Copies of this chain bind each other. A is one copy, B any other.
């Protein structure tokens, strides 16, 4: 491991730490992994993905904040926010190689690390541990989604909002109220009314 490699690794600290929560990489593996990464800066309000494109990479947020949403004639529907250390993408489009149904854009200036699908396949081939990593990643995402479905069906808007604030306290900083309302599945007016009642 030479100093060039070390330099390279420091800027990838976030993502390496994230990966190391579930699998252990030695230095060569880390170096190979980061060599697959493509870095990208997205300006506020710019798009990382648009409906109709094919989502060809998995994305990790190194700083900033992204938002994925679905759009139809009845409006936009926010699926997910992704801050630092979150993964995001249009999974369906990525897996099935069909056109994306989601838009992904930036609420702030955001830096992401992307690994293309073909490089992901190389990665799985060369370091099979990553199959495990992304399986665990998917499992955790699935658990969160199950919780969200449950909440969406069983809780009134007030409780959903309180849970949201408790679960993602940091999201409040960047995310406008109307987006939180949208994510929670209520109108901004109604969320505003809820907050007015402390």
Contact = CB atoms under 8 A, between A and B. Distances in A.
Interface of A: 70, 72, 74, 77, 79, 91-92, 95, 124, 128, 131-132, 134-136, 138-143, 145-146, 148-150, 152-154, 185
A150 B95 contact: no
A146 B185 contact: no
Contacts of A131: 128, 131-132, 135
26 contacts: A70-B150, A72-B154, A77-B153, A77-B154, A79-B146, A79-B150, A91-B139, A91-B146, A95-B136, A124-B132, A128-B131, A131-B132, A131-B135, A134-B135, A138-B138, A138-B141, A138-B142, A141-B142, A142-B142, A142-B145, A145-B149, A149-B149, A152-B152, A152-B185, A153-B185, A154-B185
Contacts of A148: 149
Given A153-B77, A154-B74, A139 B138 contact: yes
A140 B94 CA distance: 11
State the main secondary structure of chain A at its contact with B: helix
A181 to B, nearest CB: 11
Contacts of A138: 135, 138-139, 141-142
A149 B124 CA distance: 30
Given A70-B150, A92-B146, A95-B139, 16 more contacts: A74-B154, A77-B150, A77-B153, A77-B154, A79-B150, A91-B143, A128-B128, A128-B131, A131-B135, A135-B135, A145-B145, A145-B146, A145-B149, A149-B152, A152-B152, A153-B185
B153 A152 contact: yes
Contacts of A154: 72, 74, 77, 185
Nearest to A68: B146
